[in-house]
Amino acid sequence: MKKTITVFFVMLLLISSCAQDNKKDFVVTIKTSYGDMTAILYDETPKHKANFIKLAQEHYFDSLLFHRVIQNFMIQGGDPNSKKAQPGQPLGNGGPGYTVDAEFIPSFYHEKGALSAARMSDQVNPTKASSGSQFYIVQGIVISQAEVDNLRYDQMQLMNGLRKMFEDPANKPLLDSLNQLYYAGDMQAYQKRLFELAPRVEKAAGVKIVQDVSEAKMKAYTTVGGAPHLDGQYTVFGKVIKGLDVIDKIAVVQKDASDRPLEDIRMTVTVEEMPRKKITKEFGYQYPATKK
Residue pLDDT, tens place only, 276-287: 999 999 999 999
pLDDT at 9 over 60: no
- Give pLDDT, residue 11: 52
Rounded to two decimals, what is the model's pTM?
0.81
Asked whether the beta carbons of 174 and 204 are under 8 A apart, the reply is no
Measured CA to CA, the distance from residue 51 to residue 99 in angstroms comes to: 10
In the chain the domains, ranked by start, together with CATH numbers, are: 24-143+221-283 (2.40.100.10), 153-205 (no CATH)
CB neighbours of residue 29 within 10 Å: 16
Cα distances (angstroms) measured from residue 112 to each of 47, 241, 250, 260: 22, 10, 14, 21
Give the residues across from 99 on adjacent strands: 131
Nearest to 136 by CA among 239, 53, 271: 239
- Give pLDDT, residue 2: 47
State pLDDT tens for residues 124-136. Answer: 999 999 999 999 9
- Give pLDDT, residue 212: 77
State pLDDT tens for residues 178-222. Answer: 889 888 887 778 878 888 888 888 888 888 888 778 889 999 999
- Give pLDDT, residue 206: 84
User: Mean pLDDT across the chain, nearest whole number?
Assistant: 90
pLDDT at 145 over 90: no
pLDDT at 290 over 90: no
